[in-house]
Amino acid sequence: MTATTLISDAPQTESRPARHPRGARGPRIAAGLLRGILVVAFLFGALFPLAWLVISGFKARNEVTRTPFQFFPEVWKWENYAQILSDPAFLRTVLVTLAGALIFAALSVAINSMAAYVFARLDFAFKRLVWVVVIGTMFLPGMAILLTSFIVVTRLHMLDTLAVLILPGAASAAQIFFLRQFYLSVPRALEESAFIDGAGRFRIFVSIFVPMSKPVFVVVAMTSFLAFWNSYVWPVMTISSPDLFQIQQYLASFRFERGNSELGLLMAGSALAAAPVIILCLVLQRYIVEGIKISGIK
């Protein structure tokens, strides 16, 4: 009898996957349960204020600050939203703020992307020194330069214009740094091929870098849009004409003029003011996450 026969006649045992000891299932279940509790707690903490704001817009004037706290109104006042939407001043303010935010976002993308390309790809005298100066502005609090900025725009006769809200903050060191990190990850072989074909620097930037920058452009544009939409101190200092009031400025003026007598209307206006930002974030969330991920490649 050969060895082959002995091996073939030997009883075959089925290979079974190794089972994890029962004691290991407990910690895994506990960890999963803890993660679920943390996620629910985070979602509750993030969504509860927004839900309270929207529902408060349906409350009567004396229900918003009622003690003890009451989440839902006794009678849903749908006319609060209808009344604030029928206010010409509110609609004008929303349109003016929206137009300014869109222009500000587009200008921020254009200026900061070109500056980021210069710092990422070009070599010039005192480049490192200039870069240090640019990055250093990130650590200056906005309030520290508020008075000097106001003096500058006053001498330039920019008060009570849309330009005073757009131009001073269009260039951002944080956004330049963010875009530069992405441009550093672009292979130089692409530029070298374009140089061989006779393309210049601006043509390379427009034809190669801009099409590749869609996700990071979305992040920069959303950041600029949010900053413009939520700004309050600077518009109050530089805008006095009601025709150019920004949305936060309008809500503060509404609160100052009517006090606690129309808090339901104020909550309705605040909820409507938050709606465009929320909708944009939901629509563009895929690009926002992708842009944040790829910007940290290098």
Residuewise pLDDT in 10s, the chain (298 residues): 444 444 445 455 555 555 555 555 767 787 788 888 888 888 888 888 888 888 888 887 777 777 777 778 877 888 888 888 888 989 999 999 999 999 999 999 999 999 999 999 888 888 899 999 999 888 888 888 888 999 999 999 999 999 999 999 899 999 999 899 889 888 888 888 888 888 888 888 988 898 888 888 988 999 999 999 999 999 999 998 888 999 999 988 888 877 666 788 888 888 888 888 888 888 877 777 776 666 554 4
Number of neighbouring beta carbons within 10 Å of residue 247: 27
pLDDT of residue 186: 84
Asked if 233 and 146 touch (Cβ cutoff 8 Å), the reply is yes
202: closest CA among 110, 297, 124, 296? 110
C-alpha 9/C-alpha 198 separation (Å) is 76
The residue whose two tokens read 């757009």 is 166
- Distance from the Cα of residue 50 to its chain's centroid: 17
Which residues have a Cβ under 8 Å from the Cβ of 201 and sit 6 or more positions away?
121, 122
Number of neighbouring beta carbons within 10 Å of residue 187: 8
pLDDT of residue 155: 93
Number of neighbouring beta carbons within 10 Å of residue 148: 8
117: closest CA among 169, 177, 198, 72? 177
pLDDT of residue 107: 95
Domains of the chain: 87-294 (1.10.3720.10)
pLDDT of residue 23: 54
Q: Is the peptide bond before 27 cis (omega within 30 degrees of 0)?
A: no
3-state secondary structure of 59: coil
pLDDT of residue 52: 84
C-alpha 265/C-alpha 77 separation (Å) is 10
3-state secondary structure of 95: helix
